[in-house]
Structure 1
Amino acid sequence: MCEEQTVSLVDVLEEDEELEEEASAVLAGSDSDHCSYPQGYVKRQALYACNTCTPKGGEAAGVCLACSYKCHEGHDLFELYTKRNFRCDCGNRKFTELQCKLYPDKDEVNSLNKYSHNFFGVYCTCSRPYPDPDDQVEDEMIQCVVCEDWLHGRHLGCVVPDCVELQEMICEFCMNKHPFLWTYSVHLAVPGAAAQVKEETGGNSNTDVPNKEEQVDDVIEPSSKRSREEVKPSCKLKELQGTGQNRVQSGAVFWPSAWRSKLCSCNTCQERLSEAGLSFLLDESDTVLAYEKKGKNNEQRQQGQDPLMSALDNLNRVQQLEIIHGYNDMKTELKDFLQRFAAEGKVVTPDDIRQFFEQQQSRKRRRVDAGRFYCT
């Protein structure tokens, strides 16, 4: 007979903490009780696609967090993580047999929404589901900040750098769609990946990668000397193009934190970004990291509103102290109880938990009985 696989309490607690942090980062930045439709095209929010209501072959549609709970409970949902500038579709023309319970008065379609194959549960250039039951290779999925598709690390065409969770990625397709991004990548992108891509492709003499000693702060300045009298705002992009430096235009590109602040924001470049639908690149608060930070802050504020403390406000001082002491005692005893299992690497069973609370009840009865002895 096969030995049953078990995990220690330490493993369970660590995994639970990671899941809670991830959920807080993604979900706490969105409203779980009210449909986001009245807010219009929300800057960034958690989204879902319903395979039950809008299966593949039909029109793509996305629903907000609250509608995923209230209107699509029990449905087959695809979690899309977050997407920008999206308005909730729940109950509109795309849902022939469902009406939104939270905000039924909606336009037939949201014409400014952008959709991809993600809304039908497939991702990456390989158009596979995630998790993929037929793929045994362990590989992380990374989201492109432009098209917002998720791609396997091995399908990016470059080496994935360390600390990738603190960086932004633009896939090769989006880089080629907006060629001026290649100019920025020479000077602003995470170093290393470009050189490795060049080695893999053989490279050409006219696509040299900048030397390591060339720093970002140095190259974004004009290459030619300018007189002190010249104070007109210049175009950073033109100055970078004037350096004559290029890189292998192949593979995805990774960008370090705060790289957006170094993009040119002159009138010409703002118009270029607007026409390309990339104005969000000048907004550092548009990043997923900024959204996640907002979600964690919201979660911390909600945790600060302890329901126990709210209930205590309606009790007198003596009752408040008794409940607080009892609560703290139980929390300390439960922590000590679980730490013994963690220290020994043992699994906590339902019987162990049941026994703990039976002991708590027994101690409570003994304290009550002892109190009666001293009553007059």
Structure 2
Amino acid sequence: MADTARDAFADEAEGTVTIDEYIEGIEAQELEADLVLGGDDGKDCTYAGGYLKRQAVFSCLTCVPDGLAGVCTACSLACHDGHEIVELWTKRKFRCDCGNSKFGGHLCKLCPEKDSENPANSYNHNFKGSYCTCGRPYPDPEAKEQVEMIQCCICEDWFHEDHVGLNSIEEIPRDEEGEPLYEDFICHKCSPGCHFLKLYPDTIWASGKKNWAVQCDTNEPNMMIGGPSNHANTEKHENGALVGDTVGEKTSIENGSTKDIAVPESKLDSSSGSNCNLRMDVNTMPAPVVTEKSMPFFMSKGWRETLCRCEACTNFYAQRGIAYLVDKEDTIEEYEKIAKQKREKKLEQQEGAESNFLNSLNHVQKIEILSGINDMKNEFQSFLESFDSSKPVTSDDIRSVFENLAKKKKQRLS
């Protein structure tokens, strides 16, 4: 009997939290929301800002069932409250569509004067509420367990880890605790278009528990498919190209013979101007044939800073629609950094407003506020001590608490 009672109290104790723990949990949730929303307070439509480099975007399937429109945070709250909303996290170079021609005559409440369309916006199947190569929704109502998904930094689609073209999810670079070692992920559908990355040193590739084996794809004559190389070899591989330790050259395989490509021996710097760090014109590099064997890329922290910014390479990025890779403001890291700065500024303003409010009160008013706070604390403590924990808390219970507080205030002032 004693053991049963002890177990019951143990179970009850496990379900309790202190007020400090509760506040910490709320603050963590607020921070997470701020990071996703980029610090947007959701008051103003972002349309006037044009095609923002990155912002939180939502799709309203109630208004646009075909998913060919996206709205900003403020419009999702003010214009689409109660609608079927798909949260898309962040999208690059997007302008709010709310109220334009795609919405059947329903004007935006926050910014009614808009162009009929935003031609530079890009839409994928995420806007219809489907993700990955499997086209399933998230969360998936038919899944027994929600599997983690990762976002491609090129097409911005989301993928289940077991649908990214690897033989096993164990090949995804993680540390011993299972935390990701990569900063960016390029899916297997986008990686052929980024084959020029294989000209760069191993430092741009995320390393995992096991180095990837370098695999030769006969359908890709100018490059070998692969990721970080096995440094145990005397002659090392750099992402599919052979590199001697003593020569600053990469060697690619072409028609059964080798072809030298001159590159610096040391780590590449993010050059600008006319001097290319790759010492070659990437525009002359033949594009690989897209095959089912294309592998995803997992990129290391700060890999974008290594990309050459010479005129030829910059033009190369622009022609292929990936100029954002050398734009620092495009990164999720920079997006979240700005969100944190906005949050800190908002908290400072709140603290300042609270301090100014208290300083504006006279002595009697301050005493009244402190007395009210003390009464509320005591009333909640009394309620919790007398409340039957086996029953749910109802609106009548809450109403009773505040009625008692009102009675105490009346007695104190009488």
Same fold (TM over 0.5): yes
Residue aligning to 2:287: none
Alignment partner of 1:116 out of 120, 124, 136 = 124
- 2:285 aligned partner: none
Q: What TM-score do you get using the length of structure 2 for normalisation?
A: 0.68
Instruction: Compute the TM-score of the two structures, normalised by the length of structure 1.
Output: 0.74
The aligned residue for residue 142 of structure 2 is 134
How many Å apart are 1:287 and its aligned residue? Answer: 1.2
User: Are the counterparts in 2 of residues 183 and 240 from structure 1 also a CA contact under 8 Å?
Assistant: no
The equivalent position to 1:210 in structure 2, one of 229, 254, 275, is: 229
1:326-345 to structure 2, matched below 5 A, reads 326=371
2:342 to 298, 308, 311: 298
Once the two structures are superposed, the pairs formed by residues 213-232 of structure 1 within 5 Å of their partners are 222-223=264-265
Question: CA 1:110/1:194 → structure 2, altered by over 3 Å: closer, same or farther?
Answer: farther
1:192 aligns with 2:182: no
**Does residue 43 of the first structure (1) align with residue 53 of the second (2)?**
yes
Q: Distance in 2 between matches of 1:18 and 1:277?
A: 36
Number of aligned residue pairs: give it.
Answer: 341
Structure 1: tracts of 5 or more residues without a match: 225-231, 242-248, 370-376
Query: What's 2:357 paired with?
Result: 311
| Alpha-carbon distance, 1:15 to partner | 5.9
Structure 1 residue identity aligned to 2:129: G
Give 1:254's aligned residue.
298
Q: Report SS of the residue matched to 1:52.
A: coil
Partner of 1:179, secondary structure, is: helix
1:171 is aligned to 2:212: no
Q: Percent identity?
A: 36
Instruction: Please say if residues 205 and 300 of structure 2, whose CA atoms lie closer than 8 Å, have aligned partners that are also in contact.
Output: yes
Tell me the SS of whatever aligns to 1:45: strand
Higher fraction of strand:
2
Equivalences for residues 49-68 of structure 1 within 5 A: 49-56=59-66, 60-68=68-76
Distance change (3 Å), C-alpha of 1:339 and 1:257: farther
Q: Give yes or no for contact 1:49–1:78 (8 Å, CA) kept in 2.
A: yes
Counterpart AA for 1:47:
V
How far apart, in 1, do the equivalents of 2:126 and 2:315 lie?
29
Q: Aligned residue for 1:27?
A: 37
Q: What is the CA distance between 1:93 and its match in structure 2?
A: 1.3
CA displacement 1:24-65 (0-9 Å, x = unmatched): 212252351111111110111111111011113xx6010111
Aligned-partner Cα distance in 2 for 1:63–1:134? 28
Whole-Å Cα distance in 1 between the matches of residues 89 and 320 of structure 2? 24
Query: Which moved further from structure 2: 262-271 or 206-215?
Result: 206-215
CA distance in 1 between partners of 2:375 and 2:120 (Å): 53
Contact map agreement 1:9 1:346 (CA 8 A) in 2: no
More displaced stretch, 37-46 vs 90-99: 90-99
> 2: CA distance between counterparts of 1:147 and 1:172?
11
Kindly indicate whether the alpha-carbon contact (under 8 Å) linking 1:48 and 1:62 is maintained by their aligned counterparts in 2: yes
- Letter matched to residue 168 of structure 1: D
Query: 10, 15, 27: which is aligned to 1:8?
Result: 15
What letter corresponds to residue 265 of structure 2 in structure 1? Answer: S
Structure 1 residue 233: deviation in Å?
Answer: 6.4
Contact 2:34 2:40 in 1 (8 A): no
The structural deviation recorded for 1:333 is: 7.0
Q: Is the 8 A contact 1:92 1:109 kept in 2?
A: yes
Structure-2 separation of matches of 1:91 and 1:150: 27
Change in 2 beyond 3 A, CA 1:190/1:323: farther
Q: Is the 8 A contact 1:139 1:154 kept in 2?
A: no
Higher relative contact order, structure no. (Cα contacts within 8 Å, ≥ 6 residues apart):
1
Q: Partner letter of residue 141 of structure 1?
A: M
Q: Among 346, 367, 371, which residue is 1:322 paired with? A: 367
Distance 2:85 2:334 in 1: 26
Q: How does 1:267-278 map to 2 (within 5 A)?
A: 267-278=311-322
Q: Is the 8 A contact 2:152 2:187 kept in 1?
A: yes
Work out the CA distance in 1 between the residues paired with 2:52 and 2:191. 25
Q: Deviation digits for residues 191-235 of structure 1, max 9, x if unmatched?
A: 137834x38x7999966752347899x9997139xxxxxxx9642
Q: Distance in 2 between matches of 1:239 and 1:142?
A: 33
**Higher helix proportion:** 1
Contact 2:38 2:335 in 1 (8 A): no
Greater shift, 304-313 or 123-132, is seen at 304-313
Residue 368 and residue 270 in structure 1: after superposition, are their counterparts in 2 closer, same or farther (change >3 A)? same
Quick one: structure 1 residues 110 and 240, their matched pair in 2 at CA, closer, same or farther if it must change by over 3 Å? closer
Q: Distance in 2 between matches of 1:23 and 1:108?
A: 31
CA deviation vs aligned residue, 1:260-291 (integer Å, no higher than 9, x gap): 11111111111111111111111223211221
Q: Deviations over 1:131-179 (max 9, x none)?
A: 0111224421111111111111121225332433872211111111232
State the alpha-carbon separation in 2 of the partners of residues 48 and 186 from structure 1: 37
Is the CA contact 1:49–1:120 (under 8 Å) kept in the aligned structure 2? Answer: yes
Aligned counterpart, 1:227: none
